Amino acid sequence: MYEALYRSKAVLFDLDGTLIRGEEAIPGAVSFVRQLAEMDKRIVYLTNNATRTRETMALMLGRQGFPASPETVLTSSVAAAAILQHQLGSSKKVYAIGEEGLTSPLLAAGFELVKNEEHADAVVVGLHRQVTYAHFEHAVRHVLRNAYFLATNRDRVIPLENGFAPGAGALVALIAYATGVEPMLAGKPSAAFVDQALAIAGVERKEAILIGDNLETDILAAKNAGIHSVLVESGVPFAGNFVPEIKVHNLKELLQ
Ligand SMILES: [Mg+2]
């Protein structure tokens, strides 16, 4: 087994393109994660995907055979809600583009989700598969009126069972282009997001390793947070401009 993985006390897994594609487990992924869990490694799922709540994601992972509970799933939308609480203070009006995975933690954190042209203190954008031009129009107007602009993530694409679909980053890019304003970022490659996962696992930096398929998000996040990482080439095709610590074609290679 790859030494940094063998010595680790916690393994932080990316989900899309690393363990799952759409609703399906990637072949070999379930047995790989179960084997690590049986070695008493703490498993945390660290996903930029903001479309599902922690509860829904944990249920889906459990159905596929992964050892998972809502507490071990950290989504970029949970991080986004925490950032907004810190940034907005007592201001509570948020314009959100996203699915239940984003709106549910925002409501739980006490935010009021405004519609259309009402005043908004912040605009938060995640993947929304029913997004319309009107959503973008409202978001652009709020950002131009100086609403705090936050993205759950900026992934270019999301790997599904049958190929790639535009990711949250493609939606975020439309608003950034129209307004000339770049958003703050909740998910990977933010080091703070990795720190939250380390806190869930209850381990130090040197005791953790992050396994993901995306250089620009997963591997850069690990680099930013100062933890070990592995790039697995089962997901997105885009290269970043730096070299991963270790690169494998699939998870099984890490056991050799
Ligand atoms: Mg991924």
The pLDDT assigned to 243 comes to 80
Which chain residues have CB less than 5 Å from ligand 1, an ion?
14, 16-17, 213-214, 235
Q: What pLDDT does residue 256 have?
A: 82
Counting as low any pLDDT under 70, the low residues of the chain are none
Ligand 1 midpoint to CA 214 (Å)? 6
Class of domain 3-75+188-255: alpha beta
Which alpha helices (DSSP H) does 54-202 contain, by range?
A: 54-64, 76-88, 100-108, 133-144, 168-179, 191-201
DSSP lists the bridge partners of residue 45 as 13, 73
Whether residue 228 contacts residue 245, with contact meaning beta carbons closer than 8 Å, is answered with: yes
3-75+188-255 and 88-185 in the same fold? yes
Distance (angstroms) between ligand 1 centre and the Cα of 21 equals 9
Query: What CATH topology corresponds to 88-185?
Result: Rossmann fold (3.40.50)
Active-site residue set: 14, 16
Q: Where are the domains of the chain?
A: 3-75+188-255, 88-185
Question: 214 burial class (0-12, 13-18, 19+ CB within 10 angstroms)?
Answer: buried
How much is the pLDDT for 245?
87
Interval between CA 246 and ligand 1 midpoint (Å): 16
